[in-house]
Amino acid sequence: MDFNSNKPIYLQIADTICERILDDQLKPDDRIPSVREYGAQLGVNPNTMMRTYEKLTSDGIIYNKRGIGYFISQGAREIVLENEKKFFLENTLPGILKTIKLLGIDPSVFKENYK
Amino acid sequence: MDFNSNKPIYLQIADTICERILDDQLKPDDRIPSVREYGAQLGVNPNTMMRTYEKLTSDGIIYNKRGIGYFISQGAREIVLENEKKFFLENTLPGILKTIKLLGIDPSVFKENYK
Amino acid sequence: MDFNSNKPIYLQIADTICERILDDQLKPDDRIPSVREYGAQLGVNPNTMMRTYEKLTSDGIIYNKRGIGYFISQGAREIVLENEKKFFLENTLPGILKTIKLLGIDPSVFKENYK
Amino acid sequence: MDFNSNKPIYLQIADTICERILDDQLKPDDRIPSVREYGAQLGVNPNTMMRTYEKLTSDGIIYNKRGIGYFISQGAREIVLENEKKFFLENTLPGILKTIKLLGIDPSVFKENYK
DNA sequence: GTGGTCTAGACCACC
DNA sequence: GTGGTCTAGACCACA
């Protein structure tokens, strides 16, 4: 957690969870800690955790059983991958291409540094 | 101008100016419009324009003649290039490599889409 | 059982029981399963079942013999019918009329879909 | 505002705004009050207002200009109508039909009471 | 125990 | 002035 980042904490936490899903550390129907528990763990207010969980729920990545807790959705990994892929191709890639062209950087740096 | 972007408007405007410098549409000692004029043009508050000019001034990209206006600095193009190159190699590149690896994107997309 | 519905689970279960009463699947003095048994059947906490039974008891729809179990009351069917009729005419109907008027839905959809 | 309703306040407020949109009291690009102003008006915490505005934004009904305020979206009325129609046909109608059948209510009550 | 909603008050970036 | 995020603490319904 970077408390000074310009990226909201609740989204940073969401990202962390998404990464764990991609890594298969979190699998469908796994329970994730309660807002209170996780909040205490991270030194963050339960309300902030709640915002994270709301966001992930509306994205279909986790689901809720009332009074019990939050769980990873069935299609979670696919949704996360899809989101990130989309974000990359739409937002990141065009900027990159424009930039390296402007800066005169050879596009093969990517292949060379790719391992 | 994208008023809903998460990127501050004043930085979006700064970017626009930097791009014109890179394109040689703006050359050293060219005068750029006053905050009022430019602001009216873009439908933006003069205060916001002022922040743009302050930022570019502190970067050494433009300079001010009191009572006359703002002008492109001598080394402007080089500074802009240098800034962007540095930013790209330090901040953007590592993230890109990590991401495309995670998403299973072939690094040759860059070469293919490069024109 | 829909664990994500905004309707409490204990009320969903109560509704299920009421429907069986209306259908004559459950008749006066029939015994209904114990909270443990029924709870296990539905994958629901016995506490939740208890709330269902408490609610139905206070409505006079079921009654309890200590140490033996819960049973359907004599007037159960009439009570359920009465409750639902009252609820419908008081709460549901006015909202429906307002809504279909606003949405421009023809009130004959009811007659058409009624089978 | 009904502070004792089981429906969250922030959703009640959202509904109010949606109704005004349907009534054409609020038209595209109209500004709605700031979270502080509207909150004070309704005797509600600005945070609660914020939740309302977040919800409506994610539904595409209003949009935000940073530092300026929230405004009605172009397609707002259509979205609201669509949402309510969908909700009615999917959630409300089936229950109604089931109920009136069970209760032995003649479906022509709708036509008769419709004005 | 769990989540869901709400308040009060704070700080920040941006216009 | 605007929204956006966060904390602390409260109360409630539900399991």
Give domain limits for chain C.
9-76, 78-113
Give me the residue from D101, D102, D114 closest to C97, CB to CB: D114
D9-76: CATH architecture: Orthogonal Bundle (1.10)
pLDDT (tens digit per residue) in B5-58: 878 999 999 999 999 999 899 999 999 999 999 999 999 999 999 999 999 999
Chain position carrying tokens 């409750």? C83
Asked if the Cβ of residue D7 lies within 7 A of any atom of strand F, the reply is no
Token duo for residue A37 = 């528990």
pTM for this model (two decimals): 0.80
pLDDT (tens digit per residue) in D76-104: 999 999 998 888 888 788 878 887 887 77
The angle subtended at Cα B28 by Cα A99 and Cα B70, nearest 5°, is 100
Residues 6+ apart with CB under 8 A from D52: D10, D11, D13, D14, D17
Asked if the Cβ of residue D69 lies within 7 A of any atom of strand F, the reply is yes
Identity of the residue numbered C73 = S
Using a CB-CB distance cutoff of 8 angstroms, which residues of chain D are in contact with residue B4? Answer: 63-66
> To probe the interface with A, which of B5, B96, B97, B101 has the most A CB atoms within 10 Å?
B96
The region that residue D43 occupies, defined by phi over 0 for left and psi between -120 and 50 for alpha, beta otherwise, is left
Task: Give the percent of chain D with pLDDT over 90.
Answer: 63
D62 CA, F4 C1': Å apart:
16
**pLDDT bracket for residue D107 (50, 70, 90):** confident
Using a CB-CB distance cutoff of 8 angstroms, which residues of chain B are in contact with residue A107? Answer: 110-111, 114
Say if residues A27 and A62 touch (Cβ distance below 8 Å). Answer: no
Q: Do C9 and A66 touch (CB under 8 A)?
A: yes
Q: What pLDDT is recorded for position A93?
A: 86
Q: Is A23 an 8 Å CB contact of chain B? A: no
CA–CA separation, A29 vs B29, rounded Å?
A: 64
